[in-house]
């Protein structure tokens, strides 16, 4: 075995694994590309697996057997997850984030490529054992987070709209009750987007009353699809009772005082425990 | 130098470079993490650079000097770019994509994590020499593409809305003429989102008349920000005259015949030439 060649392969193999999270690469795929024996590739894979796991950069898994291969899971250690959620809580608890009307400004966070990529990994860790067929979100703010979750899971993203659009073809349109119970909202989804029997993971940025999330659950019922999990970035502590049940939240907005501009956001201990 | 240690470093170093495109890592950062000398790390970097470049997986650049370091550019060879755009053209030219009203169905493509990641790399190749401070898009369909472009460039994403939202704080709201000249649309952007003097790269999924893109240009004028580039995934051949000038398109929708369900989408030769 040629030492130079190994070091030449490792960068490219790592790239292939990382760029396509949760996609299975066969050993033959690597053997062909690099002109190496399977045993050599297998050693390479072990080296990459050790290197990534040692520095908390995700896990490389090997599936043995005829249909075997290798795939990369962009998982993080529980310490890294906690650190990420604590850092984010601190950012969101800063004094200048409370807007007139008592809203928390999060748009810079929900569209940040680096933050959403990390949170997408964390959602994927929580939900991949449920084998979702796709990730569903409702426009607009949750899209980056849902996209990064879909990427980490290697599944498509589907985006529900407030209204049907001519350029999305015939659509299913439903009405749902807003979280505060005050008014009726509408939601539309292209009929092409979802097939009967598919498994849906719902991801959104924010839950207060849970009306929009429950709207997405109702929409999936219309499509005869199964909701296998629901995740949000932030959930408010109040109201305690949400319209949508069994939602996994990364962070909780515990308190907000509009008069002092003070708000407290904390990591969800329940979410962290579930990863242990 | 220990052989095992090098092979252990390479996976982790490749991960750090790839996960953070266009971010400069100092040599000290690597030296500290791996407990290695700068000369050793420098050899590692060269091995990774060779490996990635040989298999068309992007470029590792070294900046020498006191403020020096290493960064990864997720560039592709011109052949790979052409192949990507040709594959996408074929997918979009399929018979079942024409919708009632003469619209092209693209929602599955514009929200596909793998496709948008590749297209984001391609946009980044075209625009990074213009040093944008952020990527701007208008909700909804362009968001995944704009996010992946922002990620490849290592800059934030900013999303303009159709209307101002209480949870985005005070906003600038403008009216603009739709591409077909038929009606007036509105666009709103949080005042916190953009600072005077910033350099804006506008990315969207589709241009017909160019009204929405010109609306984004007008919005940037309100913020006293400079538009350094405009990119779209598909531009229609008709109308030839667009409201917005100097737009770089990846693909052109050359023809669409609603009666036969036939449409022709092709890669933009102009875009490809500009990358050579």
Assigned fold of B78-275 = Rossmann fold (3.40.50)
pLDDT tens profile B53-107 = 999 999 999 998 877 899 999 999 999 999 999 999 999 998 889 998 889 999 9
Q: Which of B51, B101, B103 sits opposite A12 (nearest CB)?
A: B51
| H/E stretch holding A274 | helix A269-275
What region does B30 belong to: left with phi over 0, alpha with psi -120 to 50, or beta?
A: alpha
DSSP character for A23? P
Per DSSP (E only), the strands in B83-151 are 98-99, 103-104, 134-138
Q: Which of A7, A15, A58 sits opposite B6 (nearest CB)?
A: A7
Cα→Cα distances B114→A152, A157, B22, Å: 10, 10, 19
Residue to mutate among B6, B8, B11, with most A CBs inside 10 A, is B11
Which chain B residues contact residue A166 at CB under 8 A? Answer: 99-101, 103
Percent of chain B with pLDDT over 90: 84
List the domain boundaries for chain B: 3-73, 78-275
CA distance A138 to A204: 7
- Token couple for A62: 């090997």
What is the b/e burial string over B235-254, where b = at least 16 CB atoms within 10 angstroms of the residue's CB? bbeeeeebbbeebbbbbbbe
pLDDT of residue B181: 78
CB contact under 8 A, A140 and B158: no
Q: Which residue of B has its CA nearest to A107?
A: B168
Phi, psi of B174 (to 5 degrees): -125, 160
pLDDT tens profile A133-149 = 999 999 999 999 999 99
Q: Please, are residues A202 and A212 in contact by the beta-carbon 8 Å criterion?
A: no
CB contact under 8 A, A147 and B103: no
CATH tag for B3-73 (out of 3.40.50.150, 1.10.10.10, 1.20.120.1230, 2.40.70.10): 1.10.10.10
CB contact under 8 A, B104 and A167: yes
CA distance A226 to A215: 14
B266: how many CB neighbours lie within 10 A of its CB? 17
SS3 category, B149 = helix
Residue B274 has pLDDT above 90, yes or no: yes
Size of interface A-B (CB pairs under 8 A): 196
Run means of pLDDT, 10 residues per run, chain A, 276 residues: 69 95 94 91 94 95 88 96 98 90 92 97 97 97 98 97 90 91 92 97 97 97 98 96 96 92 94 96
CA distance B126 to B274: 8
What region does A207 belong to: left with phi over 0, alpha with psi -120 to 50, or beta?
A: beta
Q: How many residues does chain A have?
A: 276
Q: Please, are residues B71 and B60 in contact by the beta-carbon 8 Å criterion?
A: yes
pLDDT tens profile B37-53 = 999 999 999 999 999 99
pLDDT tens profile B111-168 = 999 999 999 999 999 999 999 999 999 999 999 999 999 999 999 999 999 998 888 8
Residue B3 has pLDDT above 70, yes or no: no
pTM summary value: 0.96
- CA-closest candidate to residue B112, choices B147, B82, B138, B77: B147
């Amino acid at each position: 075995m040629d030492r130079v060649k190994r070091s030449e392969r490792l960068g490219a193999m790592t790239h292939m694994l990382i760029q396509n999270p949760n996609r299975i690469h066969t050993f033959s795929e690597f053997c062909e590309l690099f002109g190496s024996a399977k045993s050599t590739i297998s050693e390479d894979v072990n080296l990459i697996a050790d290197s990534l796991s040692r520095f908390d950069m995700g896990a490389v898994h090997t599936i043995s057997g005829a249909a075997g291969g290798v795939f990369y899971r962009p998982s993080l250690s529980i310490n890294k997850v906690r650190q990420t959620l604590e850092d984010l809580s601190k950012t969101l608890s800063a004094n200048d984030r409370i807007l007139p009307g008592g809203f928390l400004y999060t748009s810079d966070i929900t569209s940040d490529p680096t933050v959403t990529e990390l949170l997408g990994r964390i959602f994927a860790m929580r939900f991949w054992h449920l084998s979702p067929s796709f990730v569903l979100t409702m426009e607009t703010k949750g899209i980056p987070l849902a996209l990064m979750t879909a990427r980490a899971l290697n599944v498509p993203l589907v985006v529900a709209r407030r209204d049907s659009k001519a350029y999305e073809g015939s659509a299913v349109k439903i009405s749902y009750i807003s979280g505060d119970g005050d008014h009726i909202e509408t939601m539309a989804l292209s009929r092409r987007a979802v097939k009967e029997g598919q498994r849906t993971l719902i991801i959104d940025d924010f839950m207060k009353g849970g009306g929009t999330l429950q709207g997405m659950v109702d929409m999936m019922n219309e499509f005869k699809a199964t909701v296998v999990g629901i995740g949000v970035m932030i959930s408010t502590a109040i109201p305690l009772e949400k319209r949508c049940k069994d939602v996994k939240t990364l962070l909780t907005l515990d308190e907000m005082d509009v008069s002092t501009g003070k708000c407290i956001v904390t990591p969800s201990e329940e979410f962290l425990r579930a990863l242990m």
